[in-house]
Chains A and B, each alone.
Chain A
Amino acid sequence: MNNTHSQYFLLYASCIPVKGISRSSIYDIQRNCLRLIPNLIYDVIKDAENRTAGELKKKYNNEYDKEIDIFFEELIEDELGFFTDTPKLFPKLSLAWESSSQISNAIIEIKEKSELNYNSIFSQLDDLGCTSIELRFTGSPTIDFIEHILTACNRSRIVSISMILPYADQFQIDNISYLSSKNLRVNKIIIHSAKENKKISNNYMVAKIYYTTNQLRNSSCGQICKENLIINSDLFRESQKYNSCLNKKVTITENGDIKNCPSFKKKFSNIKVKKLKEAITDAKFQELWHIRKDDINICKSCEFRYSCMDCRAYTQDPKNRYSKPLKCSYDPKTMSW
């Protein structure tokens, strides 16, 4: 290790340290995983950015030379970092996040025999550049009706569709697999209030199909737990400046109300009287898009803050717009869930 004395130790640009109140994380947004580290180590990594290994050790009065060597060796072994003579040639990853969509994702509540014109809704979403939609069906839709809805999404910019259906006799595996095989944009189908829990996925199908005995309502949303954390470049970068759940999202309820999300009471006009484009360009509608995890009480000191989907509908103090999500049990201070 002696030859590293005059070299710089860098984390790979996609491995980004994030400090929490009691511990820190290294977000690996190339391989999509997360490594927890003590805050002291976070400081060492930061100090190493503009110091050679020799200078770094000196900063710590040469009391931890061996520990620092071992620590760097470990990070190299795990492919999180490397030594270089030319740190200037390795710029940091830009965390800018830009989207070619005015609306990127939409939740649409759908019922059969509705007076809403779904074709028009999908075509408006397409004009806004929407790429992913969640269809929340109510009642007991026929397979034909679901197919009709999915057909309306053909030849659009939508690349991912997830569907939530209340269980009914027509939703046997054969019918559901048929729908999925005919509509390759569909990547998730959840059938709730089912008789049993099961998960169906195979190599021949794009979609994952879940049957769950739980009943899903709008109020079921907003759960934040270890298993729901998402580590990827897109979310990490988007959440630096925008709300990780609501940014560029729109909801159209069963009655045509336009909302930020189905769980909010607040509505911004109705699709029957207003063009979607007009409703979503209203500054009031976009207000919540700009609440970052860095602005939210407690969350701002959490080491998981850029892997969390947040929730603004159910919060601990509904009067405070910067209140922590109600359904998150994690305490970053004690590091316990």
Chain B
Amino acid sequence: MILILCESKDLSVSEVIDWISFLGYNYKRVNTDHLIDGNYTLKLNNDQVSYQSNSITDDISMIWYRGGSEVSSYKYPVLEKINAAKSRMIYNSMKMEKKMLKKSLYDNVLEKEWLSNPLQIDKLNKISTLRLAKECGVDIPSSLITNSKQELLDFLNEHKELIVKPIYEAYDFNLHKEEIYMEYTSSISLPFIQKLETTFFPSLFQERLQKEFEIRSFYLDGDFYSMAIFSQNDSQTEVDFRRYNTEKPNRSVPFKLPENIEKKLNKLMRTMELKTGSIDIVKTKDGRYVFLEVNPIGQFGMVSGICNYNLEKIIATYLIKNEKWKKQVKS
């Protein structure tokens, strides 16, 4: 059977599940954000894991890992009675407990076929991925992590235009009740740099690429499903297309990556042991295909819908095929 580990709100997963049922196969879905309230038991003495009283270790050969946010918050009544600093400490400790709770689940179903293995995903980060990409012959943006104003000025001199982006992930700040601030990739200018102190918090800078268009490519075990996004027509999305323009969405069309680019990216994905992911690329005006990053559990719904790739069915078929194969190998 196919086991799906995902977030309760993952709509794309529901659509893949519709296809799995339509094709006549069974699945078990575990919403990892509900591990606390969903009746989860791990019996260490016989390696049995159950969720909602159903075993999720028996009869499972294929696991689709969709990541998801942390385990949902739990109301700790005791925290309301103690002071803020102490409750913060307890909160942080609970957060680590919840993280390990999820990991305990993955560890105990490891001997299966994964799409993709979360422990493998955990090893990756933006910087090491860029380095690996370069080793695979993939073009990457000229990048610099520094805390020195002088280094930054030299870098600007070399590339004329720069952007700054988070070294880790884009983070949401929920500062006020109804406003969410999100870290976006932004352009930085000479006057901005001149105002900086001689040293500052280390940050990731990259040359600003002169985009012809962006490419988002969904990768599944050697196949690429790509979409070109014409984000440079719209000043709101020019630097970062996640600043969606909902009134007039960016023109997005099916795209075929040149074969030599696909070949190098395929090598990169195999090196990272990722069987799937969403790859971000910029096609520059001077003809470069520049790799930005890969999201191992990226959203594919938009690429699938706009380009009519029907990825939901393709993923369902892939899971079924590999589940059967793994079962055969076992028996």
Contacts and interface: CB of A to CB of B under 8 A. Distances in A.
Most buried by B among A13, A90, A100: A100
A30 interface: yes
Contact of A89 (B18, B22, B255): B255
A95 B308 contact: yes
Given A93-B308, A98-B310, A14 B253 contact: yes
Nearest to A92: B254
Contact of B18 (A90, A100, A237): A100
A93 B18 contact: no
Contact of B21 (A90, A98, A129): A129
Interface residues of B, number: 26
Given A90-B228, A93-B308, A129-B22, A100 B15 contact: yes
B310 A101 contact: no
Contact of B308 (A94, A102, A157): A94
B28 interface: no
A30 B305 CA distance: 10
A98 B258 contact: no
Contacts, number: 66
Interface string A1-30: 000000000001110000000000000001
B253 A12 contact: yes
A35 to B, nearest CB: 14
Nearest to A84: B212
Nearest to A13: B253
A277 B307 CA distance: 32
Nearest to B248: A31
Given A14-B306, A31-B248, A100 B254 contact: no
Nearest to B18: A100
Contacts of B219: none
B264 interface: no
Given A12-B253, A88-B256, A101-B22, A93 B15 contact: no
Most buried by A among B15, B249, B251, B306: B251
Contacts of A98: 310, 313
Given A31-B248, A90-B228, A101-B18, A96 B310 contact: yes
A100 B22 CA distance: 6
B233 interface: yes
B230 interface: yes
Interface in A32-80: 79
Interface in A81-139: 82, 88-96, 98, 100-102, 129
B40 interface: no
B51 interface: no
Interface residues of A, number: 24
Given A89-B256, A90-B228, A101-B22, A233 B251 contact: no
B155 interface: no
A233 B22 contact: no
Contacts of A157: 18
A316 B312 CA distance: 41
B146 interface: no
A76 to B, nearest CB: 9
B254 A90 contact: yes
B252 interface: yes
Contacts of B19: 100
A31 B256 contact: no
A88 B257 CA distance: 10
A90 B253 contact: yes
B72 to A, nearest CB: 20
A96 B308 contact: yes
A79 B15 CA distance: 31
Contacts of A102: 22
B121 to A, nearest CB: 28
B307 A93 contact: yes
Contacts of A12: 230, 251, 253
A90 B22 CA distance: 32
Contacts of B18: 100-101, 129, 157
A129 B20 CA distance: 12
Most buried by A among B253, B257, B312: B253
Given A31-B249, A129-B18, A93 B254 contact: yes
Given A94-B308, A98-B313, A237-B308, A30 B256 contact: no
Nearest to A28: B251
Interface string B304-327: 011111101100000000000000
A306 to B, nearest CB: 14
Contacts of B312: 100
B232 to A, nearest CB: 11
18 contacts: A12-B230, A14-B252, A30-B251, A30-B252, A30-B306, A82-B230, A89-B257, A89-B258, A90-B253, A90-B256, A92-B254, A94-B307, A96-B310, A98-B313, A100-B22, A100-B312, A101-B22, A237-B308
Interface of A: 12-14, 30-31, 79, 82, 88-96, 98, 100-102, 129, 157, 233, 237
Given A14-B253, A94-B307, 19 more contacts: A12-B230, A13-B253, A14-B251, A30-B251, A79-B251, A88-B256, A89-B255, A92-B254, A94-B254, A94-B308, A95-B308, A96-B308, A100-B15, A100-B18, A100-B312, A100-B313, A101-B18, A129-B21, A157-B18
